[in-house]
């Protein structure tokens, strides 16, 4: 069975913006893109699970293609895109690397979700709705700041 250990050892220290995982079941139901991104990265350099990594690449690409026609309303979707920008799936040619696109979509959605504001202005809390069924106040200050910092760090690397 694939454990979080390899992800925690090799990836987590480089992405401090991630929220702690509380329940795998809830994560799968709430944000499948984020869950499968974590599974893909955890199996990436793990020789015992190399076949899992290869089997997850195409389905994850299909999940990502759905983002082109829908908007994000979950901070986990932004985190998944930042993870994939940091560690993209292998491509045959460098021009096929979608890393910059992932960063751009992540930053755009973070802005639309109000994650760039550590303190939400009073007028935005009650009458503003982003693309999803949320207001900027639905995200904790820590989540907003760490996600925006993640966008900055990965976007400038």
Give yes or no for residue 149 having a pLDDT over 80. Answer: yes
Instruction: Look at the alpha carbons of 38, 15, 62, 88 in this order and tell me if their dihedral is positive or negative.
Output: negative
Q: Which residue has the higher pLDDT, 20 or 49?
A: 49
Where residue 61 falls among pLDDT bands split at 50, 70, 90?
A: confident
Closest to 18 measured CA to CA, from 153, 122, 131 = 153
Structure tokens of 86?
């940091």
Q: Which residue has the higher pLDDT, 109 or 12?
A: 109
CA dist., res. 19 & res. 15, Å (int) = 10
Structure tokens of 4?
């979080």
pLDDT of the residue at 1: 46
CA dist., res. 105 & res. 147, Å (int) = 13
Residue ranges per structural domain of the chain:
5-156
Give yes or no for residue 109 having a pLDDT over 60. Answer: yes
């Amino acid at each position: 069975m694939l454990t979080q250990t390899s992800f925690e050892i090799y990836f987590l220290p480089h992405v401090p913006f991630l929220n702690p995982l509380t329940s795998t079941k809830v994560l799968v139901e709430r944000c499948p893109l984020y869950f499968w991104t974590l599974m893909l990265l955890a199996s990436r350099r793990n020789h015992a699970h190399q076949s899992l990594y290869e089997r997850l690449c195409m389905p994850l690409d299909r999940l990502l293609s759905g983002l082109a026609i829908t908007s994000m309303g979950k901070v986990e979707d932004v985190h998944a895109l930042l993870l994939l920008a940091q560690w993209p799936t292998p491509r045959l040619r460098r021009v096929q690397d979608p890393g910059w696109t992932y960063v751009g979509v992540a930053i755009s959605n973070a802005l639309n979700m109000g994650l760039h504001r550590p303190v939400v202005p009073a007028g935005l809390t009650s009458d503003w709705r982003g693309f999803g069924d949320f207001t900027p106040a639905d995200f904790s200050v820590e989540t907003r700041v760490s996600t925006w910092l993640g966008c900055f760090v990965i976007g400038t690397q």
